[in-house]
């Protein structure tokens, strides 16, 4: 199938054109090249999904093999793609949402002197992300996995002259790399046990000769390690807020809609292995649950609009993880899709606001924007409504579906249900804190507002807003891929009502706490120590710094001269010292020789006598 073969390579081609011709391209041509690449990918995705729906009523996927990559003993690792309904969702989201973000980015980055290079990196990222989700085997998935990591590094550090951006880029890369290494170990373990790294073969094997409990436990744990790194979950979540140093379209594309969901995709994809390790599924649920709470609390105390959204992303991915842990894979992946819509909308909306207020990101220096830029504000509010799962939005469909399955799940349960509902409450508090401070009250910025009306700014936002509203009803056929949910019947009747009311309650609380009561009262960030603590992400960064980073740097630096070399130098010092001692003895003076001869004889005699 040509469309499937070419699907990930269109953006690669645009990347090559953009990076080679670079500054020789005008804005119009560079934009055309960049958008063509990803646009063709989107069209190809639609074609592939169409033919998948035609051919695959049986649940079989499409496979497209390109060439043999290398041999692992008897096993052939191929450069090959596999598409089923799960892949279909992913490629549609990556290329579709990616296309809209590229359009926005074209306007957002228009005046940057390295515009072509920026669009080149974005295209390369799309290529890597598509390879990740299309991969037929885990090695090719790992290629995409590392590829998106490298692109993320390049894009976070795009404005590399500021050392802070460079540090944030490095941090993102290295922290996720820790997860990547665990993932790699998981692959080694899988290969040892199953003698294959082809995903469908592995899953098929689990039907006939499943992994031993111990092997499944380890493999599921190691793959989870990879997932928490990429998806910014506890305990490897600390890179994501700093990653906001990148240009805003990057945050929308990589750190909200696509790359950070790779971990969710991985666990969903390997469901057959996870079902053999219920303890690890339970751990997945815990990871998701704790992350969504911790990130939600941290989001309550942020002043930077992008950091609020970053913590919110972590928290929403926590919901997806919680869903996976509870066995609600269809709901989790649906939430992945709707989250891509509304979070991309929120980030791009934030980008439009940031442009309008002269690259100010502090929400306490905004205010009153609803009256001054109503269109963007309303679009942003649609995103917020979806984020808090306001009834009728796409977020409502997917998030309620996750929460609904928690109570009865064997690997989750009522505790998780309660925590998830509390999380939903917190979500709506921090969301409306953001809304009330940014859009209401007096305008507090120092400069006049620069309203953004460029078509490429507004149009993607409008489309994303429509998706954020209705995207939950897009048919996905995910149930063909996943085993039926663990829970068959639902819990008590009041659960649903409580889950719907919790976010609404949150709006009320946020109104009481944060709504500017009078036109003149200034909104100020908190100053209490609790506020500072959650502002700093609940102290994870400083703990890791003290426990891991500093000891490592200290250890490396103290041994800079290489202790082993000191041993070698000891040998040479020894030789030189004896050499000079002996040389001193050979002075060539007869008297000295006679004296030492005499002294030696005397000592010898003394020795003999005694």
Sole window of 85-93, 172-180, 257-265, 579-587 interacting with other proteins (rule: CB under 8 A): 172-180
Residues 305 and 290: their CA atoms lie apart, in Å, by 23
Q: What are phi and psi of 63, to 5 degrees?
A: -120, 140
Per CB under 8 A, the list member of 214, 550, 562, 579 interacting with other proteins is 562
For residue 578, state whether it binds other proteins (rule: CB under 8 A).
Answer: no
455 binds other proteins (CB under 8 A): no
Q: How far apart are CA 381 and CA 287, in angstroms?
A: 29
Alpha-carbon distances of 217 from 196, 338, 482, rounded to whole Å: 18, 31, 20
**Binding segment for other proteins among 61-69, 268-276, 278-286, 384-392 (CB under 8 A)?**
61-69
- Inter-residue long-range contacts of 538-544, CB under 8 Å, 24+ positions, other chains counted: 538/294, 538/297, 538/298, 540/235, 540/237, 540/238, 541/238, 544/238
- Indicate which single residue of 29, 43, 46, 143 sits in contact with other proteins (rule: CB under 8 A): 143
Candidates 54, 71, 584, 590; binder of other proteins (CB under 8 A) is 71
Contacts 24+ apart (CB under 8 A), 413-417: 414/491, 416/285, 416/289, 416/322, 416/325, 416/326, 417/491, 417/495
Which of 194, 61, 167, 33 has the alpha carbon at shortest distance from 477? 61
Min separation Cβ 335 and other proteins, Å: 29
Residue in 146, 201, 303, 304 binding other proteins, rule: CB under 8 A: 146
Is residue 483 a contact residue for other proteins (CB under 8 A)?
A: no
Q: Give dist(CA 335, CA 315) in Å, integer.
A: 12
Q: Assess contact for 297 and 426: CB atoms under 8 A.
A: yes
Tokens matching residue 376? 């963007």
Binding to other proteins by residue 180, rule CB under 8 A?
Answer: yes
**SS3 of 76, please?**
strand
Q: Does 166 bind other proteins (CB under 8 A)?
A: yes
Tell me whether residue 238 or residue 316 sits nearer to other proteins (CB atom): 238
- Distance, CA of 27 to CA of 119 (rounded, Å): 10
Tell me how crowded residue 31 is: count the other CB atoms within 10 A of its CB: 22
Residue in 50, 55, 543, 559 binding other proteins, rule: CB under 8 A: 559
Give strand pairing partners of 423. none
Segment near other proteins (CB under 8 A), from 330-338, 380-388, 465-473, 564-572? 564-572
Indicate the residue among 170 and 535 with the shorter CB distance to other proteins: 170
**What number of chain residues touch other proteins (CB under 8 A)?**
51
Phi, psi for 362 (deg, rounded to 5): -80, 120
- In this complex, which beta carbon is closest to other proteins, that of residue 91 or of residue 139? 139
Beta-carbon count within 10 A of 327 CB: 29
Q: Is residue 504 a contact residue for other proteins (CB under 8 A)?
A: no
* Whether residue 235 has a cis bond before it, omega within 30° of 0: yes
**Among 204-212, 355-363, 488-496, 561-569, which window interacts with other proteins (CB under 8 A)?**
561-569
- Piece in contact with other proteins (CB under 8 A), picked from 289-297, 306-314, 448-456, 563-571: 563-571
Answer yes or no whether residue 555 interacts with other proteins by CB under 8 A: yes
* Residue 24 touches other proteins, criterion: CB under 8 A: no
588 binds other proteins (CB under 8 A): no
Letter string b/e over residues 203-237, b meaning 16 or more CB atoms within 10 A of that residue's CB: eebbeeeebeeebbbbbbbbbbbbbbbbbbbbbbb
Based on the shown chain and the rule CB under 8 A, indicate whether residue 16 belongs to the binding site for other proteins: no
- Give the whole-angstrom CA distance, residue 501 versus residue 388: 11
- Residue of 4, 44, 129, 139 interacting with other proteins (CB under 8 A): 139
Q: Which window, 73-81, 389-397, 430-438, 579-587, contacts other proteins (CB under 8 A)?
A: 73-81
Contact pick of 32, 185, 370, 459 for other proteins (by CB under 8 A)? 185
Of 291-299, 439-447, 490-498, 557-565: span binding other proteins (CB under 8 A): 557-565
Contact call for residues 254 and 132 (beta carbons, < 8 A): no
Q: How far apart are CA 32 and CA 39, in angstroms?
A: 10
CB of 430 to other proteins, least distance (A): 33
Position among 115, 118, 125, 191 found at the interface with other proteins (CB under 8 A): 191
Residues binding other proteins (CB under 8 A): 19, 22, 67-74, 79, 117, 139, 142-143, 146-147, 150, 153, 157, 160-163, 166, 169-170, 173-174, 177-178, 180-181, 184-185, 187-189, 191-192, 552, 555-557, 559-560, 562, 564-565, 567-568
């Amino acid at each position: 199938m040509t469309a499937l073969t070419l699907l990930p390579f269109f953006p690669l081609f645009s990347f090559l054109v953009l990076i080679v011709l670079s500054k020789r391209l005008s804005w119009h041509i560079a934009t055309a090249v960049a958008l063509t690449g990803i646009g063709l990918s989107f069209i190809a995705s639609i074609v592939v999904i169409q033919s998948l729906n035609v051919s695959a009523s049986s649940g079989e996927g499409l496979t497209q093999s390109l060439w043999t990559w290398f041999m692992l003993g008897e096993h052939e690792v191929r450069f090959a793609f596999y598409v089923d309904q799960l892949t279909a969702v992913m490629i549609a989201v990556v290329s579709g949402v990616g296309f809209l973000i590229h359009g926005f980015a074209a306007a957002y980055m228009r005046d940057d002197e390295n515009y072509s290079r920026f669009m080149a990196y974005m295209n390369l990222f799309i290529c890597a992300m598509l390879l990740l989700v299309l991969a037929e085997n885990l090695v090719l998935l790992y290629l995409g996995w590392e590829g998106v990591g490298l692109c993320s590094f390049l894009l976070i550090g795009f404005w590399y002259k500021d050392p802070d951006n460079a540090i944030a880029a490095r941090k993102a890369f290295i922290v996720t790399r820790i997860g990547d290494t665990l993932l790699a170990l998981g692959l080694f373990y899988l290969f040892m046990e199953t003698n294959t790294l082809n995903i469908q073969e592995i899953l098929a094997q689990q039907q006939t000769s499943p992994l031993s409990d111990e092997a499944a436990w380890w493999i599921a744990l190691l793959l989870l390690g990879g997932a928490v790194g990429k998806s910014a979950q506890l305990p490897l979540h600390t890179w994501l807020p700093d990653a906001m140093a990148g240009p805003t379209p990057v945050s929308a594309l990589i750190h909200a809609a696509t790359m950070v969901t790779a971990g969710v995709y991985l666990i969903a994809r390997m469901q057959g292995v996870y079902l053999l390790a219920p303890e690890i599924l339970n751990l997945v649920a815990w990871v998701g649950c704790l992350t969504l709470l911790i990130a939600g609390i941290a989001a309550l105390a942020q002043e930077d609009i992008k950091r609020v959204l970053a913590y919110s992303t972590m928290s929403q991915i926590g919901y997806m993880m919680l869903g996976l842990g509870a066995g609600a894979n269809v709901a989790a992946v649906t939430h992945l899709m709707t989250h891509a819509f509304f979070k991309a909308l929120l980030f791009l909306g934030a980008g439009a606001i940031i442009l309008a207020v002269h690259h100010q990101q502090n929400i306490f220096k905004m205010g009153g924007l609803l009256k001054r830029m109503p269109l963007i504000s309303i679009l942003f509010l649609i995103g917020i409504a979806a984020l808090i799962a306001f009834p009728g939005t796409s977020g409502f469909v997917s998030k309620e579906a996750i929460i609904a399955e928690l109570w009865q799940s064997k690997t989750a349960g009522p505790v998780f249900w309660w925590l998830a509902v509390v999380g939903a409450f917190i979500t709506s508090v921090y969301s409306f804190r953001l809304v009330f401070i940014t859009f209401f009250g007096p305008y507090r910025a120092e400069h006049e507002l620069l309203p953004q009306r460029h078509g490429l700014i507004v149009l993607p936002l409008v489309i994303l807003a429509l998706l954020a509203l209705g995207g939950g009803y897009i048919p996905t056929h995910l149930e063909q891929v996943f085993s039926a949910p663990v829970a068959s019947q639902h819990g008590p009747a009041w659960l649903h009502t409580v889950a719907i009311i919790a976010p609404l309650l949150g709006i009320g609380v946020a109104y009481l706490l944060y709504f500017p009561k009078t036109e003149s009262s200034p909104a100020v960030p908190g100053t209490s120590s609790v506020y500072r603590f959650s502002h700093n992400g609940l102290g994870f960064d400083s703990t890791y710094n003290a426990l891991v980073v500093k000891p490592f740097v200290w250890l490396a630096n103290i041994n800079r001269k290489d202790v082993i070399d000191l041993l070698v130098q000891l040998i040479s010092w020894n030789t030189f010292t004896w050499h000079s001692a002996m040389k001193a003895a050979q002075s060539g003076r007869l008297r000295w020789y006679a004296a030492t001869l005499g002294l030696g004889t005397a000592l010898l005699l003394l020795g003999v006598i005694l």
